[in-house]
Amino acid sequence: MSVNWVMLEPSSTQPFTPLPHEQTLYKSPARTTFSLQSLNKFPGKEPAHWSASAGTLYLTNRRLVYLPTTPTPQLQSFSVPLLNTHDSHVVAPWIGPNVWTALAQPVQGGGIPTHIPALELKFSFKDGGAYDFHSGYERVKERLQQQVDVARQSGHLQGDGSEAGRGRGGDALAAVDVANVHLDDLPAYEETGSTIPMPQPHAQPVPLSATTQATRSPESHAPEVFTPPAEPPPGYEQVQRETVEDELERRLSSGRIL
């Protein structure tokens, strides 16, 4: 991350000089605001703060570039390598424009005091575009990080890919072929080849059994009317007699019959 280190080209169609193999992927509306400030107040140190009420934000395949509409001696330009930004997200307040915020890691010689390890970076999109910018930023940063991981695993790169010096790109990304980083959206998956539908077996009608038919017959759902039997059940008299004899014998044994 550096302040006032972007090489400007006012007469060119692109207002700043691109780095090798650098492509501009997004350009914000001209009323995008900018804020960069230190997180903590260090004893004996003045807090760092830069801001602009309007300007244009550029997303490239290597960095973020912000050019204020009205440059000042304190802020003429701003740039930060993509891999030097962390914890980015979009804040949608109840009132006011959407704000994209992240933590930015300074580079040596970039115009940031050396005692500041990180700063809070904010862009307010007064004319919209915050989510478009954020989705493009996340996509490019992820694919750039993949190339850095491959270079590190092969032994051509040390560290996490963040840049440490000069503030003009290069450094850690010198081992990464930025020109071969795939930036387009991957095509949606489509199954190739003809697909032959498998024949589905036809359901054969199952004959209903007599029991099933009786269960499903309308008569089975009619309420039953209880009719008391006209004769006692078989063996009823014998059971009743045995019960009386047992009760009589029990009373005789207990002496309850006088």
137 φ, ψ to 5°?
-60, -45
- Residue % of the chain over a pLDDT of 70: 61
- In a domain, residue 197? The reply is no
CATH of the domain at 151: 2.30.29.30
Reply yes or no on whether the pLDDT at 185 is more than 50. Answer: yes
* Residues of the domain holding 82: 2-180
Reply yes or no on whether the pLDDT at 45 is more than 60. Answer: yes
Q: Output the six-digit token pair for 4.
A: 């006032």
- In a domain, residue 247? The reply is no
Residue 104's H or E segment, with its range, is: strand 98-104
Q: Which residue has the tokens 């350009």?
A: 27
Tell me, what's the pLDDT at 1? 74
| Stretch 42-62: mean pLDDT | 87
Tell me, what's the pLDDT at 191? 44
Chain mean pLDDT for the chain: 77
Confidence of residue 177 (pLDDT cuts 50, 70, 90): low
Q: Which of 197, 150, 141, 212 is nearest to 175 (CA)?
A: 150
Reply yes or no on whether the pLDDT at 194 is more than 70. Answer: no
Reply yes or no on whether the pLDDT at 135 is more than 90. Answer: yes
- Residue % of the chain over a pLDDT of 90: 39
Reply yes or no on whether the pLDDT at 42 is more than 70. Answer: no
- Residue 91 CA from chain centroid, whole number: 15
- In a domain, residue 135? The reply is yes
Q: Output the six-digit token pair for 242.
A: 């045995």
Beta bridge partners of 165: 108
| Stretch 179-183: mean pLDDT | 62
| Stretch 201-206: mean pLDDT | 51
Confidence of residue 151 (pLDDT cuts 50, 70, 90): confident
Tell me, what's the pLDDT at 226? 57
- In a domain, residue 233? The reply is no
Reply yes or no on whether the pLDDT at 134 is more than 60. Answer: yes
Confidence of residue 210 (pLDDT cuts 50, 70, 90): very low
Confidence of residue 221 (pLDDT cuts 50, 70, 90): low
- Residue 87 CA from chain centroid, whole number: 13
- In a domain, residue 96? The reply is yes
- In a domain, residue 51? The reply is yes
Pairing mode, strands 32-38 and 85-91: unpaired
Q: Are 112 and 3 in contact, with CB atoms under 8 Å apart?
A: yes
Confidence of residue 147 (pLDDT cuts 50, 70, 90): confident
- In a domain, residue 117? The reply is yes
| Stretch 42-70: mean pLDDT | 89
Tell me, what's the pLDDT at 232? 64
- In a domain, residue 145? The reply is yes
Reply yes or no on whether the pLDDT at 170 is more than 50. Answer: yes
Lowest mean pLDDT among 5-9, 56-60, 91-95: 5-9
Looking at residue 86, its amino acid is H
Q: Which of 40, 76, 82 is nearest to 55 (CA)?
A: 76
Number of domains in the chain: 1
